[in-house]
Amino acid sequence: MQYLEGRKFVVLGIFLAVAVVFAVRLFHIQVLDGSYKLAADKNTLQRIVQVPYRGLIYDRNGKLLVQNTPVYDLMVIPREVKKLDTLRFCQLLQMPVQELRDGLKAAKIYSRVKASPLVQNLSTRELAAIQDNLIDFPGFSIKPRMARSYQTQHLAHALGYVGPISPTMLEKPKYAHYLAGDFLGISGVEAYYEQELMGRRGVQYRMVNVRGIEKGAFRDGEFDTLSVAGQDLHLSIDPELQAYGEYLMQGKRGSIVAIEPKTGEILAFVSAPEFDPAMLTGKGSGNRYMELLRDTARPLFNRPLAAAYSPGSVFKLVNEAIALQEGVVTPSTGFPCNWKLVRCTHRHEYPSNLTIATKNSCNPYFYQVMFATVRRGRSPSKFKDVALGLADWRKHVTSFGLAQHLDVDLPGERMGLIPSPNFYNKRYGENRWTYKTIYSLSIGQGEIQVTPLQMANLMAIFANRGYYYPPHFVRSVGNKGPLERFKQRHYTSVDSSHFNAIVPGMVAVVDGRGGTGEHASLLDVGISVAGKTGTVQNYHGIDHATFGGFAPANDPKIAISVFIENAGFGGSSAAPMAGLMMEKYLRRKVAPWRHRWEEWLPGSADRFVKNRNRR
Amino acid sequence: MNQVRYSRSIDWVTLLIYLTMVGVGLLNVYAASYAAEVPFSRVFSADWSGLMAFNWFKQLVWIGVSVLLIVVLLVIDHKAYDTFAYVMYGGMIVLLIVTLVIARPIAGSRSWLELGPMRLQPAEFAKFTTALAVSRFMAGINLRQQAFKQQLVLAGLTLLPPLLIIASNETGQALVFGAFLLAYFREGMSPLILLILAAAGLVLILSLLVPKLWLVGAFTLILAAVLALNPRVLRHHLPLAVGVYGIVLGMVFGVDFFYNNVLQPHQQKRIEVLLNPSADPLGVGWNVTQSKIAIGSGGLAGKGFLEGTQTRFDFVPEQSTDFIFCTVGEEWGWLGTMTVIILFMALIFRVIVVAERQKSVFGRTYGYCVASIIFFHFCVNIGMTIGLAPVVGIPLPFFSYGGSSLWSFTILLFILLAIDAYRKQDLVR
C-alpha cells in the first residue's frame, strides 16, 4: 500500500458518480423523453403544400365564365424589416402610412419570424411597378398565388366568390385541412362545390437545414402526395338569357328564376340589384365588399334563394290542384264571385268554371275552393274540422317542394313557410281559429311564404304536369354529369290529370281575352304561354309584383318566376318581363314590336305603380 | 534502448483505448461535417489543398502528426520530463505572455498563435507543462506537513497559467486548472478543502436558484440547531461558527454582485441559460436547446451513421469541435453515448492504475493530473451538451476536431506512458 493510496477510491468515486449521472440523464433525454424527437422533426421537416389549380366554371354553351389568374401577395417578415423608409415604401405602394403601420402591427402579432401578407392581390402590372425597388426593403417579399378572374359581368349571386379563410372557419373541424391564408369558395357554387373545385392538395416533406435551405426529400418522398387539379363545373345557365334578365331588372329589387322543366336545370338566376362578380376579387375587394354590404338595396342578398314572399294569386293554382285531387271540386265547378267573402281584384264575368276563374284570378272563387278542401265535415266542430282539413292540405302542398329545402346546389337556401294547424294553435290557441281566420291562404296571402326559386320550381311542376327535378346549376362536375340526386324525379301527391285540367286556365290568363297576364303573351310569334299573375300584399309598403309561367304550354321548355319588389300589380310589370324572357330563350330574339317593353321595363319599379296609395 | 523493450513496457491497454477514442472521434468528425452533395469519390481526384478542405482529412492529418509525437515522446529520455519540468513551465509562461501580446483576436479571444497556415492554442499545451511542474514540485514536499509557504508556492504555480489564459479571454481553458485539486487531494491536501469548495459551490448554486430570504432563514436555522444541539461548539468554537455563518451569508448576497459585476454579459447568459434553457431560445439558449434536441432525438440506437439531421444540417453549432458529442448522441443513440462514457471511464481508471503503480511521487502526481484534466474536460463538455453544465468552450478530449486539442492531450497522456515505460528502470537505478 502506497502513501495515502486509500484516497484513490475517493477520486475514482467522484469520476464514477459523474459518469452515472451522465448515463442516467442521457437515458432520460434519449430513450424516455420523446419530445426531443418531435423537436428534431420540427427543426428539419418542412411541409410544402402544393395548392392545385382550382377548377374552372363554364356556362351552358361551354364558354368560360370563371378562370384562374396569377396575383401576388406582398409578404412581410417583421423580424427582418430593417430601417424601413415608410415614406418611400408608401409612395411606392400607394398606400396610406397608417395602413402600413396597422398591417405591420398585425403581422407582428401573428408572428415575428413567419411571413404574413401585408398587401394582397397585386396584379402583374402592380407587381412590375414595385418589384425592382423591393430589394431596398429587407423583410418584404412577393408570393405568387392563383386568384379568380371573371369572363362575365353577370351571375355574381350564383357564382359566388373566393376569399381567404376566416379565423372562425379555421376552428371548425370541417376546415381542418385548410391553413391560415388559404383561399376557398365563400358563397355560390364556389362554396357549394368547394371540394370538387379545390381538387386535392399535394404535400411534400422536405428536409431543411438551419438556414431553411433544402437538403432533399424526407425518406425519399415516402410520405409525399401529389396534388390533383380541381374539377371544372359546367353550369346550366344560359349566359344570354342571364344577361338579358339582369338588364331587364336594372334599377329594381327582385328576382327572376328560369328552369328547364324537363331536367331541373336553372337557365337564369337573377337577383336584383346585381353586381359584377369581379368586385369581390383582387385588390380592394374588402372595401368593395363593405360598400355592397352597406348598400340599402342589399345587393349581396341572394333574393331567389333567401327572400321569402307570399306567392300571391299564383298559389291559387296549387289550391285548385289539391281540391281536384281531393275530389271536392271539378274543373267545371262554378262559385259566385261573392265580394262578401273576400274582395275580388276587379269586376269580371261570372266564374262558371275553373278556367274562367283562373283567367280572372277571382278571389271569392278560390276562397270557396279551399273552403271545400279543408271543411269536409269530418268533425262536428268547425274548429276541429278545419284543423283536420288544413293538415291534409299541408301534406299536399309540401309535395310541391314548398316549406322545405329544394337542395339546390347553392348555399343559403331558405325553406319558406306553409302554416300547419300547430302553427295556428300556437298563435291563436287550440280550437280558437276557423277557416275565416286562415282564408288568406286560399289566395296565396297571409302567413304563407315561398322563395322565388320554389315558385319557379312550382311552375316547372305545372309544366311537367305533376313532377319536378330538383333545380340545380351544375349540369356536370368535370365530365361526370350532375349530382346523383338531381337525376331523381319528385312527384307531387296530385295526379297529373288534374294538372291537365288546370293548364287551360293558365293559358287563358296569358292568351285569353282580358286575361290578367296578357302582357306575357307570345301568341303573335306562335308560342302559347301558360302562367299566372300575382300581387303580393306587402305590409311594409307597395305590393310586390309576381308572375309565374311556362312556355310553350303544350311542350314546356322553360318555366319561370318573376318577383319585382314594390312594383304593384303583377300583370303590368312581372308578366311582360316573363314574356320577354321566355321569348328570348325560345326564339333567341325578341319580336321588334316588343322592343318598347325592353326599353320601358328597365329602371325604377315606381313606374309600374298606377296608384301609389293603393294597398 | 531498443524497440523490443518499448513493446514490453508500454501500457498497451491505455494505447488501445486511446486509439479507439481517436478512431471513433474521426468517424464522428466525418459525420459532423458530412455533406451529401459532396460525393466521397471527389476525395480521390482532389489535390492536397482540396483534401485539406475536408475537416475529417485535416483531423486525419492531425492524428498522423500525433503518432509522430507519440514516437518522439517515447524516444526522449524519460528523465527529461522530470529534469526540464520547470524549464518547460517557464517557457510556456513566456509563450502565453507572448501570445497575449501578439495574438489577433479570434472570436473574442487572444489565445491563438498563427504559424503560417497553422493555428495553435498555447493554452492547450499549458496543461501538461503545468502538470509536469507541479508534479516536480510535489515530489520535493509533503502537502500534509509542509509549511504554508510551500503550499503558497504550489498555489502560485497552479494559478499563474490560468490567470494568463483568463487575460486572453479563454475562461473555459483556465477553469481546467481547477482539476489539479484532485491530484493534490491524492497527495495529501486536506479533504476539508474539497468539502468546503463543494459546499461553497452548493451555496452558490442555491443562491441563484432559491430566493435569498429563504436561504438566510435556512442557514440561520442550521446555525441555531448546531449551537443548541452541540454545546461544545457554543463554548469553544463560537467565533468559528459565526464566522462560517457570516461567510455563507456573504456568499449568498455576494453572488449577485459577482454575477452582475464580475461576470461578462456572455458568461451571465450562459449561467442564466443553464438555469432556464428557455430564457433565450434563439440566442445563447440555442446551443443548449439544439444540442439537447440532437442528442435526445437519437433514441436508443441512434439514427445511423451519416443520418443525423440535426448535426448535419447545422442546427447544432460547433458540431465538430465542442459539440461533437451531439453527433455521437444523434447518430448512435444512447448505446453510442454510453460507449463514449465507458471509454472515458476506462481511460481515466486505467490512468489512475498507471499512476498508482508509479514508484516516484513525480510520476504518480503527474498521472493524477492527467486523469483529472481529462475528467474535467469530459465532465464539462458532455455536461454542457446535455444541459447539466454551463456552455464553456472546451473540447472533448480525443474526439473533438482540432489539432491543438488532440496534440495537447496526446502529449499529456503519452508523457505519462513514457514515464511509466521506464518505471522498472527507475526501480533498478
Domain membership of residue B233 (yes or no) is: no
The mean per-residue pLDDT over the stretch A416-425 comes to 94
State how many domains chain B has. 1
Predicted confidence (pLDDT) at residue B224 exceeds the cutoff of 70 = yes
pLDDT tens digits along A184-222: 999 999 999 998 999 888 888 877 777 667 777 777 777
Q: What is the mean pLDDT of chain B?
A: 85
pLDDT tens digits along A293-319: 999 889 999 999 999 999 999 999 999
Domain membership of residue B378 (yes or no) is: yes
Question: Which of B187, B190, B192, B309 to mutate against chain A (most A CBs within 10 Å)?
Answer: B309
CATH number of residue A439's parent domain: 3.40.710.10
> Best-predicted range by mean pLDDT among A43-57, A281-295, B207-221, B370-384?
B370-384
**No. of helices (H) and no. of strands (E), chain B:** 22, 2
State how many domains chain A has. 3
Minimum mean pLDDT range among A66-75, A172-181, A263-272, A386-395 = A172-181
pLDDT tens digits along A68-93: 988 888 888 888 888 888 888 888 88
Statement to judge: residues A406 and A353 lie in one domain:
yes
Contact B296 A21 (CB under 8 A): no
> Best-predicted range by mean pLDDT among B16-20, B170-174, B194-198?
B16-20
Work out whether the CA dihedral B356, B358, B360, B366 comes out positive or negative: negative
Domain membership of residue B307 (yes or no) is: yes
pLDDT class for B248, splitting at 50, 70, 90?
confident
Statement to judge: residues A55 and A113 lie in one domain:
no
CATH number of residue A178's parent domain: 3.90.1310.10
CB contacts, 8 Å: B325 with chain A:
none
pLDDT class for A269, splitting at 50, 70, 90?
very high
Q: How far is it, in rounded angstroms, from Cα B234 to Cα B419?
A: 52
Number of Cβ atoms within 10 Å of the Cβ of A530:
29
Domain membership of residue B195 (yes or no) is: no
Domain membership of residue B213 (yes or no) is: no
Quick one: which of B215, B112, B108, B119 has its CA closest to B169? Answer: B108
The mean per-residue pLDDT over the stretch A90-102 comes to 87
Statement to judge: residues A200 and A253 lie in one domain:
no
Q: Which of these three, A209, A235, A261, is where a domain ends?
A: A235
Statement to judge: residues A243 and A229 lie in one domain:
no
Statement to judge: residues A195 and A81 lie in one domain:
no
- Cα distance between the two ends of chain B: 15
Q: HSE of A214 in the Cβ direction (CA atoms, 13 Å)?
A: 8
Amino acid at B40: F
pLDDT class for B280, splitting at 50, 70, 90?
low
Statement to judge: residues A342 and A210 lie in one domain:
no
Statement to judge: residues A424 and A536 lie in one domain:
yes
* Res B259: pLDDT: 78
Minimum mean pLDDT range among A34-43, A562-571, B162-171, B392-401 = A34-43
Domain membership of residue B241 (yes or no) is: no
pLDDT tens digits along B66-119: 999 999 998 888 888 999 999 999 999 999 999 888 888 776 777 888 877 777
The mean per-residue pLDDT over the stretch B184-197 comes to 87
Contact B310 A44 (CB under 8 A): yes
Quick one: which of A428, A554, A467 has its CA closest to A438? Answer: A428
Statement to judge: residues A143 and A216 lie in one domain:
no
Statement to judge: residues A78 and A169 lie in one domain:
no
Statement to judge: residues A231 and A247 lie in one domain:
no
**DSSP helix/strand/coil, A64:** strand
Predicted confidence (pLDDT) at residue B5 exceeds the cutoff of 60 = no
Predicted confidence (pLDDT) at residue B7 exceeds the cutoff of 70 = no
* Res B425: pLDDT: 61
ipTM summary value: 0.90
* Res B140: pLDDT: 83
Q: How far is it, in rounded angstroms, from Cα B319 to Cα B295?
A: 12
The mean per-residue pLDDT over the stretch A421-441 comes to 93
Of A3, A16, A40, the CB nearest to B293: A40
Question: Which of B290, B297, B370 to mutate against chain A (most A CBs within 10 Å)?
Answer: B297
pLDDT tens digits along B368-427: 999 999 999 999 999 999 988 888 888 999 999 988 899 999 999 999 999 998 776 654
Q: How far is it, in rounded angstroms, from Cα A370 to Cα A382?
A: 15
CB contacts, 8 Å: A33 with chain B:
296
* Res B283: pLDDT: 65
Q: How many CB pairs under 8 A join A and B?
A: 116
Domain membership of residue A344 (yes or no) is: yes
E strands, B260-375, are: none
Domain membership of residue B225 (yes or no) is: no
- Let me know: does A162 contact A183? Beta carbons within 8 Å: yes
- Let me know: does A562 contact A256? Beta carbons within 8 Å: yes
> Best-predicted range by mean pLDDT among A104-108, A392-396, B120-124, B288-292?
A392-396
CB contacts, 8 Å: A41 with chain B:
297
CB contacts, 8 Å: A11 with chain B:
182, 185-186, 352, 368, 371-372
Query: Which domain, by its residues, includes B144?
Result: 3-189+263-428
Give the cell for residue A417: 313557410
Of B290, B309, B379, the CB nearest to A207: B309
Predicted confidence (pLDDT) at residue B2 exceeds the cutoff of 50 = no
Contact B329 A26 (CB under 8 A): yes
What is the DSSP secondary structure assignment for residue B260, as one 8-state letter? I
Q: Where are the alpha helices (DSSP H) in B168-237?
A: 171-175, 180-186, 191-209, 212-229, 231-236
CB contacts, 8 Å: B345 with chain A:
15-16, 19
pLDDT class for A23, splitting at 50, 70, 90?
very high
CB contacts, 8 Å: B186 with chain A:
4, 7-8, 11
Query: Which domain, by its residues, includes A176?
Result: 41-63+159-235
Statement to judge: residues A486 and A561 lie in one domain:
yes
- Among chain B residues, the shortest Cα distance to A8 is held by B186
* Res B102: pLDDT: 87
Domain membership of residue A131 (yes or no) is: yes
Q: Which of these three, A125, A150, A175, is where a domain ends?
A: A150
* Res B279: pLDDT: 62
Q: Where are the alpha helices (DSSP H) in B35-186?
A: 42-45, 48-51, 55-75, 79-83, 85-102, 122-139, 148-167, 171-175, 180-186
Statement to judge: residues A369 and A284 lie in one domain:
yes
Minimum mean pLDDT range among A169-173, A400-404, B362-366 = A169-173
What is the DSSP secondary structure assignment for residue B298, as one 8-state letter? T
pLDDT class for B135, splitting at 50, 70, 90?
very high
Q: Is the pTM of this model over 0.95?
A: no
Number of Cβ atoms within 10 Å of the Cβ of A13:
10
Q: Which of these three, A218, A235, A252, is where a domain ends?
A: A235
pLDDT class for B239, splitting at 50, 70, 90?
confident
Domain membership of residue A78 (yes or no) is: yes
Give B235-257 as a DSSP string: HHSHHHHHHHHHHHHHHHHHHHH
* Res B429: pLDDT: 42
> Which residues between 6 and 35 in chain A have a beta carbon less than 8 angstroms from any beta carbon of chain B?
7-8, 10-12, 14-16, 18-19, 21-23, 25-27, 29-31, 33, 35
Q: What is the mean pLDDT of chain A?
A: 89
